[in-house]
Structure 1
């Protein structure tokens, strides 16, 4: 290798970069060499620029992967929200929520209101920003979550499902209130949201006021416990 020509060295660098899974170095090494020679870069400057390109690409790919894995039904960035069209209480709280301090503090957010008031868009905007800042996020409708919990119990893999669910930094549970649940569904939802309480953040979107939650859960004890657990130190 000591006596190899420049072309051979570049070829070997590309091969090593492929083996080491360094796609940006593999892709840009030749142009970076030319740029380094053109600008008389030192070895340190050349290596720094090469690694910085790889690092930046990984950071960006990480953001895109977290957004993809989160399962958002559509993309809505906070910057795209028409704040003036949101309900007054949402406008007032948005500047606070945008800091994402609620995730650091393990606090919940309850977005309640009539259909078309921007609840889901706000939650997705917050979720995407969380993904871009390195948080693990899950977006899921409440009916789908309950179905998945029931299926996991039926397949005897409920505990592994719960462990994964518990580890998300932010869970966005959309559409609470569109359909009611049976006793099993209510208990499973309550248990899994309770596992996150005080440690991990959950955003709930609902079209029902708390006074009507007993229409969903059909059990006054679970309803009261659910409201108490979700609203403790939460934003509403």
Structure 2
């Protein structure tokens, strides 16, 4: 089919045609930014090809941004946390280079696990959410959940005879972020159900956990020794272990602020 340009269109008619065409083709960014990009093209004396490239790149970049926003929302993070907001100087035990390497997402691509271990206030949940957000921005499907909430959901699913469906749903995401693992003791049934989720994902899709207990203390959560050992094995094999320490930088920050305030 030979392209035949329209001739004799007035500027208002051309603008109306562009607006209508963008609506039909579902190009909202091009429709919204066409005038500004057109004016810039005139000032910079872009070629027709250059002008078209600017329009298409603007549409592609905005679509990528919207996809990322949808993945972030679908992940269910309780709050926004980004690596750019993390204060590495407040916790010198955490190696920034290791964290920024993890942010590239190769571990998610390879289906490897990640364990963030440390006391409250040491930044492990911040890093869990921030690395999960980085994975979502990179195009991976991510789901965040509290350990207690996940176990409760699995127990309810088992009672309602939809356990396989629930486990499969958690198995489909590229990265499952489980926060606050170790804050509560699980009965054998709850621990068994959590183990099934981990087994479903083993060596296929990544799991990242944040825990206030070292592995040696996990017997408080998983009271059956064999099951505890199996869960630790699944969460550490080929994985990265980041220890965030025992000194709460939130508490230190509060004390420093109070000390600086006039009495």
TM above 0.5, one fold?
yes
Alignment of 1:187 with 2:174, yes or no, is: no
Q: Which 4+ residue blocks in structure 1 deviate beyond 6 angstroms?
A: none
Contact 1:70 / 1:139 at 8 angstroms: preserved in 2? yes
Matches of 1:92 and 1:46, distance apart in 2? 40
How far off is 1:76 after superposition?
2.0
196-205 or 214-223: bigger deviation: 214-223
Structure 2 counterparts to residues 197-208 of structure 1, below 5 A: 197-208=202-213
State how far apart, in whole Å, the 2-side matches of 1:38 and 1:82 are: 43
Contact 1:87/1:117 (8 A) holds in 2: no
Where does structure 1 lack aligned partners over 5 or more consecutive residues? none
162-171 vs 197-206, greater mean Cα deviation: 162-171
Contact (CA 8 Å) 2:88, 2:94: kept in 1 or not? no
Query: Does residue 1:112 correspond to 2:150, yes or no?
Result: no
2:240 is paired with a residue whose SS is coil
TM-aligned CA distance change 1:222 to 1:20, over 3 Å:
same
Give secondary structure in 2 for the equivalent of 1:213.
helix
CA change 1:189–1:24 in 2 (3 A) is same
C-alpha separation in 2, matches of 1:175 and 1:29: 48
Higher mean alpha-carbon deviation, 8-17 vs 165-174, is at 8-17
Q: TM-score, normalised by structure 1?
A: 0.88
Task: Please tell me whether residue 11 in structure 1 is matched to residue 23 in structure 2.
Answer: no
The answer to whether the aligner puts 1:154 opposite 2:168 as a matched pair is: no
Aligned-partner SS, 1:175 = strand
* Aligned equivalent of 2:237, options 226, 232, 236: 232
Show CA shifts across 1:172-212 (max 9, x none): 10001111122221111101111111121111111112222
Distance in 2, matches of 1:85 and 1:29, equals: 46
Maintained 8 Å contact 1:67/1:131: yes
Distance 1:232 1:44, change over 3 A: same
- Give the corresponding residue for 1:125: 130
CA distance in 1: counterparts of 2:60 and 2:97, whole angstroms = 37
Q: Using a 3 Å threshold, how does the CA distance of structure 1 residues 13 and 231 change in structure 2: closer, same or farther?
A: same
RMSD: 2.3
Give the direction of change, closer, same or farther, for the CA distance of 1:42–1:123 in structure 2 (3 Å limit).
same
Distance in 1 (alpha carbons) for counterparts of 2:166 and 2:62: 31
Contact 1:170 1:200 in 2 (8 A): yes
Distance 1:26 1:106, change over 3 A: same
Per-residue deviation, 1:221: 2.3
**Residue of structure 2 aligned with 1:58, choices 63, 81, 95:** 63
Shift of 1:90: 5.4
Shift of 1:100: 2.8
Query: How far 1:40 sits from its partner (Å)?
Result: 4.3
Between 151-160 and 163-172, the greater mean CA deviation after superposition: 151-160
For this pair of structures, how many residues does the alignment match?
Answer: 236
